[in-house]
Amino acid sequence: MVWRRKNEELNPKNLVGTVTYGGRRVLVWGCMSASGLDNDPMHTALNVRLWCLYNCPQNLKTPPQSPDLNPIEHIWRELEVRVRKHDIKTKRELKTVMVEEWMNIDAEITKKKLVKSIPKRLKAVVDAKGYPTKY
């Protein structure tokens, strides 16, 4: 537990490290990328890196576990909000609802809200000297 003053949630002294995967029983994979890379070592197979080297020279390399620079993290949040509105009782229902809600996330809104905000996100990270941002 962290005790802090109001508006100090991003102060480095108030941050607690996290585990990337807590071992729950449902793990969902998704993708939102023009080039297919997010710099997570699990996603950087040699053939993908080589393809991107020749086909995506302007690829933005984001660090793993950096939700402020990775728009897919905000799509996961949107998906979670939508899924929680349902009264889900089984894993099968969860899968069905997740697929339905995923398909309902409008690509154009996603592009406008998330992808086009990357310059602001980059500036916020630089201003925060690499520490977490409001994103």
Residue 23, sorted as left (phi over 0), alpha (psi -120 to 50) or beta, turns out to be: left
Q: What is the mean pLDDT of residues 106-134?
A: 82
The Cα 114–Cα 118 span in angstroms is 7
Residue 96 has pLDDT above 90, yes or no: yes
Give long-range contacts, CB 8 A cutoff, 24+ apart: 44-53.
none
Residue 3: predicted pLDDT: 65
Residue 109 has pLDDT above 80, yes or no: no
Domain boundaries, the chain: 31-126
For residue range 51-80, what is the model confidence (pLDDT) as tens digits? 777 777 666 666 666 767 777 777 888 889
**Better-scored residue on pLDDT, 62 or 33:** 62
Residue 64: predicted pLDDT: 63
Query: What values do phi and psi take at 84, rounded to 5?
Result: -65, -15
> How much of the chain exceeds pLDDT 70, in percent?
66
Q: Which fold has domain 31-126?
A: Nucleotidyltransferase; domain 5 (3.30.420)
Residue 103 has pLDDT above 70, yes or no: yes
Residue 36 has pLDDT above 60, yes or no: no
Confidence of residue 50 (pLDDT cuts 50, 70, 90): confident
